[in-house]
Structure 1
Amino acid sequence: MNGVMKPKVIATEKAPGAVGPYSQGMNAGPFIYVSGQLPINSATGEHYTEIEQAAKQSLSNCLAIVEAGGGTLETIVKVEIFIRDMSLFSRMNAVYAEFFGDHKPARAAVEVSKLPLDAVIEIQMIAFTGTHS
Structure 2
Amino acid sequence: MTNAPYTPVVTAGGWIAVSGQVPLRDGTFLHDKPFAEQVDAVLANVVDRLAEAGASLADVVKTTVFLTDMADYPVLNERWVATFADPRPARSCVAVAALPFDCRVEVECWAMAPS
Quote the RMSD (CA, aligned, Å).
1.5
**Structure 2 length-normalised TM:** 0.90
Report how far residue 63 of structure 1 moved: 1.3
Structure number with the bigger relative contact order (C-alpha 8 A, sep ≥ 6) is: 2
**Structure 1 length-normalised TM:** 0.79
Of 78, 95, 113 in structure 1, the residue corresponding to residue 79 of structure 2 is 95
In structure 2, do the counterparts of structure 1 residues 19 and 112 end up closer, same or farther at CA, with 3 Å as the change threshold?
Answer: farther
Give me the whole-angstrom Cα distance separating, in 2, the residues matched to 1:18 and 1:112.
25
Report how far residue 48 of structure 1 moved: 1.6
Q: Which has the larger radius of gyration?
A: 1
Number of positions where the alignment pairs a residue of Structure 1 with one of Structure 2: 113
Q: Is the 8 A contact 1:18 1:24 kept in 2?
A: no
Q: Compare the two structures and name the one with the higher strand fraction.
A: 2
For the residue of structure 1 that corresponds to 2:24, the secondary structure is coil
- In structure 2, runs of 5+ residues without a counterpart are none
Tell me the equivalent position of 1:52.
36
- In structure 1, runs of 5+ residues without a counterpart are 1-16
Report how far residue 129 of structure 1 moved: 1.9
**Identity across matched positions, percent:** 29
> In the alignment, does 2:106 pair up with 1:118?
no
Report how far residue 20 of structure 1 moved: 3.0
Give me the whole-angstrom Cα distance separating, in 1, the residues matched to 2:68 and 2:18.
20
Tell me the equivalent position of 1:70.
54
Give me the whole-angstrom Cα distance separating, in 1, the residues matched to 2:99 and 2:2.
14
Report how far residue 51 of structure 1 moved: 1.3
